[in-house]
Amino acid sequence: MRVSKFFLPVMKETPAEAQIASHRLMLRAGMIRQAAAGIYSWLPLGLRVLRKIEQIVREEQDRTGAHEVLMPTLQQAELWRLSGRYDAYGPEMLRITDRHDRDMLYGPTHEEQITDIVRTAVKSYKDLPLNLYQIQWKFRDEVRPRFGVMRGREFLMKDNYSFDLDESAARLSYNKMFVAYLRTFDRLGVRAIPMKADTGPIGGDLSHEFIVLAPTGESAVFYDRAFDGFEIPGNDVDYDADLQPIVDRWTSLYAATEDMHDPDSGQLPMDDSLISGRGIEVGHIFYFGTKYSEPMGAIVQGSDGEKITVHMGSYGIGVSRLVGAIIEASHDENGIIWPSSVAPFDVGLINLRGDDAGCIAACDDLYGKLSQAGFDVLYDDSTERAGAKFARMDLIGLPWQLMIGPRGLASGYVELKNRATGEREELSMDAAIQKLTDQKGAIG
């Protein structure tokens, strides 16, 4: 993509309304625009990141054997009256009346909607276990939407729902999601620690939050330093195998959010192995048994013809929140530093002299070769001064920058800069392409 043809409305000034780095940087980098309080439009640069995150989340869900569906954003109040949540949910639920005076709502979550599908489509124990997920917009009329996409009113969530015959089978489904979450956040380039959690309006008694550490996080967290040494389950993880040992290991150490943290519990390590910090909740998983299946009548026939009320869990990942959370965890004073897996482009190619025929020819050539080699390149072909180009590239945070100017060209080299470390190298064009290819291979 050429900068001259891209829609990249970056801002020089720091927007006054933004209190934290990710919100400021997303506005300045032209990733989002506020449409109303807590409601955002996604511009091309931001949308690319959102889609990349979505795709990694999707791949890791598919790997577990979950099936993707897409439910509507608008739901009938009727279903929520069955579960008792229409009244219980309170003012966070956006309620709408259609032209026939029917009560509708913009879904803050989808337990009722999915249970309605399963209670009508699934009749036999043979159809279970079943795990369905979607990536869909939600609406919660938060009292204080803030921090940009981190606490929005409209936000994108991956939510899935597991259906099992009994509690022990449901526990296996829970464990699959637990492991899938460890892998998902790792692939997204963030360290998320599972912590015991409150279940809130979702209900149930088994629940973990996945928390990314960042000084601007909304909740205080406490966890054992030894988490740092824990390995993430690899590509060869077998979701049909017993995952309890992995879950046991990750839940063996102390890790709790503010709500659950009890200094008098006696569980606290006695030495200084406890870290206290702040964190951002990027995922939340729940097991809640028959809380929805019972009142809504999600019942299957067992092997002896008996009626079994299904056991459910639900599992959320804040997809749009993650864009902000990743930035909170990875930026510097010049801008964003994207982990390569979610970067909007792999490489930024900068022509230092956009009006010089030799530089234009060399950049065009390199742009063609990199694209051919499978790189997503943002090519700054503009005639702005070099300083402005450097600042913009640093702001938008692509992992690599390749710079071509008349001086280097005369001696046959280009400059390659690593955005995260700031390291610069002078290389021949071919060597630069080779280095980028090796890096790409290394992260798979």
Contact residues toward ligand 5CA (CB under 6 A) are: 109, 111, 140, 142, 151-152, 155, 157, 159, 202, 281-284, 314-316, 318, 320-321
Min. distance of Cβ 104 from ligand 5CA in angstroms? 19
Nearer to ligand 5CA, 146 or 435 (CB): 146
CA dist list (Å): 270 to 183, 195, 230: 31, 19, 21
Min. distance of Cβ 223 from ligand 5CA in angstroms? 17
Min. distance of Cβ 317 from ligand 5CA in angstroms? 6
Nearer to ligand 5CA, 194 or 408 (CB): 194
Give the whole-angstrom CA distance, residue 3 versus residue 335. Answer: 18
Nearer to ligand 5CA, 284 or 389 (CB): 284
Q: Per the structure block, which two tokens stand in for 237?
A: 């993880």
Nearer to ligand 5CA, 35 or 361 (CB): 35
Q: Which secondary structure element, helix H or strand E, spans residue 135, and what is its range?
A: strand 130-139
Nearer to ligand 5CA, 201 or 358 (CB): 201
Min. distance of Cβ 316 from ligand 5CA in angstroms? 3
Min. distance of Cβ 232 from ligand 5CA in angstroms? 19
Provide the phi-psi class of 38: left if phi over 0, else alpha when psi is between -120 and 50, else beta: left
On whether the CB atoms of residues 305 and 275 are closer than 8 A, the answer is no
Min. distance of Cβ 148 from ligand 5CA in angstroms? 10
Q: Per the structure block, which two tokens stand in for 431?
A: 């060597």
Nearer to ligand 5CA, 203 or 399 (CB): 203
Min. distance of Cβ 372 from ligand 5CA in angstroms? 38
Nearer to ligand 5CA, 156 or 403 (CB): 156
Find where tokens 């740092």 sit.
228
C-beta nearest to ligand 5CA: residue: 318
DSSP 7-46: -----SSPPTT--SHHHHHHHHTTSEEEEETTEEEEPHHH
Burial class of residue 382 in the structure, from the number of CB atoms within 10 Å of its CB (0-12 exposed, 13-18 middle, 19+ buried): middle
Min. distance of Cβ 266 from ligand 5CA in angstroms? 28
Q: Per the structure block, which two tokens stand in for 282?
A: 């990027």
Spatial CA neighbour of 389 closest among 346, 351, 345: 351
Min. distance of Cβ 156 from ligand 5CA in angstroms? 8
Give the whole-angstrom CA distance, residue 263 versus residue 351. Answer: 57
Pairing state of beta strands 103-106 and 299-301? unpaired
Min. distance of Cβ 428 from ligand 5CA in angstroms? 45
Nearer to ligand 5CA, 316 or 354 (CB): 316
Nearer to ligand 5CA, 30 or 316 (CB): 316
Nearer to ligand 5CA, 207 or 330 (CB): 207
DSSP 158-206: EEEEEEESSHHHHHHHHHHHHHHHHHHHHHTT--EEEEE---GGG--SE
Nearer to ligand 5CA, 157 or 378 (CB): 157
Give the list of residues 6+ apart from residue 104 with CB closer than 8 angstroms, or none.
Answer: 74, 75, 76, 77, 95, 96, 97, 98
Give the whole-angstrom CA distance, residue 54 versus residue 184. Answer: 10
The DSSP call for residue 146 is: B
How many Cα atoms are found within 13 Å in the side-chain-facing hemisphere of 262? 8
Give the whole-angstrom CA distance, residue 234 versus residue 239. Answer: 12
Min. distance of Cβ 280 from ligand 5CA in angstroms? 8
Find where tokens 């990710």 sit.
22
